[in-house]
């Protein structure tokens, strides 16, 4: 039999549910793969093998008793270090939370367990989840398994590197400005940022977040196949009353014309030639699948959304963040705080209220846009994945990174879903595209993403060198 760690979540769950392999065998295989590759990439920063085996034995016992353990039966999943998992520290990559041990699971973690998943380890993230690069002073640096010279992305970089290297076919991450989509892009896998309100979220270990982050952050999956993203989303989005923003809504919406807006240069920004080539390749694949692709030069403003995102994210509580970053001492987090400080200091005292007002206006404009188009096809980033730690190369390096991420920073402001789909590579550098759809229409992103994926090469598990 093919090594289990090479299989998709859908394949593994089918084998376990049919009792062709045991969950214990899957767990042991995943742990062996982790031992083999994780020392090279530092994607998983905490793993308790006996705990993993106990989870597997529970799944096997349920099957032996004739019970259904769930749609993710025996599937190894990694969990980001900023999500509560009972008995583990929710470090969020900061020395200030090194001993913040969660007493209860976050809703998405509970939902994964209820679906039969095996939680095999805690995945690395930058300090306070602030960067598109993954390192911190608690757990160290994560290496991109496809090319160690490149960032693995951030802030869910550990999870993306783990999936790419075969440490579990699914990773749980979060995204407030690209933190699921960019690691997927950088590691050559698929990553879904669900709509705001789709997947319930809550960390009992920590104080309530500011209203801006509450309205923009999204918990979601990364995987090596769109089918696995769909499976993970269904499991993770089950209702949990601890999240007052959660909306229990069907995962498939009303039929829409299969019409795609191709926007190569959103807001007129420059894009790398390789990024444009990937977009046009994806457009051709969609046309081959029966979609109508319309190239558009003008859309509602992404920059307006990105400004709102920055104001809601940093307009309330920046002084506390700056103080925490200073006390932690991580140079990457300091670079982010220093890079945005000038913009934050110019914000008036009522900036959050003002941003919320403009948020409604911009959301309306995009809702009208998506009345005609089912999905929008645009860059994930205007550049190929960055050299690692580019944001630490002075103010010019930071600004280059910040500007290139406009297509990801924008849409969390109004809670839209986004899917990063890999389309191949340029040498050893992964490349891909982003699909955005109306709120709660992840199904449209996934449908289009599956058609792009089906007309390309399957994503191989990489052996880090």
Distance of alpha carbon 428 from alpha carbon 431, whole angstroms: 10
Q: Are 352 and 258 in contact (CB under 8 A)?
A: no
Catalytic-labelled residue, pool 155, 217, 322, 425? 155
- Residue 179 annotated to the active site: yes
User: Are β-strands 429-436 and 375-378 bridged in parallel, bridged antiparallel, or unpaired?
Assistant: antiparallel
**Token reading at 306:** 């990105």
Catalytic-labelled residue, pool 80, 125, 225, 237? 80
User: How buried is residue 242: exposed, middle or buried, by Cβ count under 10 Å (0-12/13-18/19+)?
Assistant: middle
Distance of alpha carbon 292 from alpha carbon 359, whole angstroms: 30
Backbone φ and ψ of 260, nearest 5°: -115, 135
In 3-state terms, what secondary structure has residue 121?
A: strand
Taking the CA atoms of 223, 226, 232 and 236 in sequence, report the sign of the dihedral they define. Answer: positive
Q: How many CB atoms lie within 10 A of CB 79?
A: 28
Catalytic-labelled residue, pool 10, 135, 179, 205? 179
CA distances to 148, 268, 281 from 173, rounded to whole Å, are: 21, 31, 28
Distance of alpha carbon 205 from alpha carbon 414, whole angstroms: 27
- Residue 174 annotated to the active site: no
Distance of alpha carbon 98 from alpha carbon 83, whole angstroms: 13
Taking the CA atoms of 381, 133, 363 and 230 in sequence, report the sign of the dihedral they define. Answer: positive
- Residue 6 annotated to the active site: no
User: What single string gives the DSSP state of each residue in 307-368?
Assistant: HHHHHHHHTTTHHHHHHHHHHH--HHHHHHHHHHHHHHHTS-TTHHHHHHHHHHHHHHHHHH
Beta-carbon contacts of 319 under 8 Å, excluding residues fewer than 6 positions away, are none
CA contacts within 13 A on the Cβ side of 274: 15
Strand partners, 193: 418
Instruction: Write out the catalytic residue numbers.
Output: 80, 155, 179
């Amino acid at each position: 039999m093919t090594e289990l760690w090479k299989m998709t979540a859908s394949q593994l769950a089918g084998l376990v549910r049919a009792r062709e392999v045991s969950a214990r065998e899957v767990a042991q295989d995943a742990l062996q793969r982790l031992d083999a590759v994780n020392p090279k990439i530092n994607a998983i920063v905490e793993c308790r093998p006996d705990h993993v085996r106990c989870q597997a034995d529970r799944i096997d016992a349920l099957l032996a008793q004739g019970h259904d353990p769930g749609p993710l039966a025996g599937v190894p999943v990694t969990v980001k270090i900023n999500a509560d998992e009972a008995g583990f520290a929710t470090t969020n990559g900061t020395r200030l939370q090194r001993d913040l041990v969660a007493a209860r699971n976050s809703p998405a973690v509970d939902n994964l367990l209820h679906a039969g998943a095996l939680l095999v380890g805690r995945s690395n993230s930058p300090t306070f989840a602030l960067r598109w690069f993954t390192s911190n002073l608690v757990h160290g640096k994560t290496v991109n398994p496809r090319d160690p010279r490149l960032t693995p992305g951030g802030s869910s970089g550990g999870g993306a590197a783990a999936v790419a290297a075969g440490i579990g076919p699914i990773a749980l991450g979060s995204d407030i400005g690209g933190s699921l989509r960019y690691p997927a892009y950088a590691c050559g896998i698929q990553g879904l940022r669900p709509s705001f309100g789709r997947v319930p979220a809550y960390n009992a270990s920590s104080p309530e977040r500011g209203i801006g982050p509450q309205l923009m952050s999204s918990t979601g999956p990364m995987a090596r196949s769109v089918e696995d993203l769909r499976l993970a989303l269904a499991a993770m989005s089950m209702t949990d009353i601890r999240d007052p923003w959660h909306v229990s809504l069907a995962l498939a919406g009303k039929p829409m014309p299969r019409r795609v807006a191709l926007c190569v240069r959103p807001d007129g920004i420059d894009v790398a030639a390789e990024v444009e080539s990937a977009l046009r390749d994806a457009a051709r694949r969609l046309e081959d699948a029966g979609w109508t692709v319309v190239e558009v030069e003008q859309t509602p403003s992404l920059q307006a959304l990105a400004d709102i995102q920055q104001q809601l994210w940093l307009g309330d509580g920046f002084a506390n963040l700056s103080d925490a970053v200073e006390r932690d001492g991580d140079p990457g987090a300091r670079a982010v705080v220093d890079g945005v400080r000038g913009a934050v200091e110019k914000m008036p005292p009522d900036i959050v209220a003002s941003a919320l007002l403009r948020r409604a206006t911009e959301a309306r404009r995009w809702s009208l846009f998506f009345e005609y188009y089912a999905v929008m096809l645009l860059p994930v980033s205007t550049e190929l994945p960055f050299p690692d730690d580019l944001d630490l190369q002075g103010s010019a390096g930071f600004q280059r990174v910040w500007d290139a991420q406009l297509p990801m920073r924008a849409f969390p402001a109004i809670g839209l879903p986004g899917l990063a789909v890999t389309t191949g590579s340029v040498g050893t550098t992964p490349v891909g595209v982003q699909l955005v759809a109306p709120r709660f229409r992840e199904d449209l992103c996934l449908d289009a993403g599956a058609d792009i994926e089906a007309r390309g090469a399957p994503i191989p598990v990489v052996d880090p060198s």
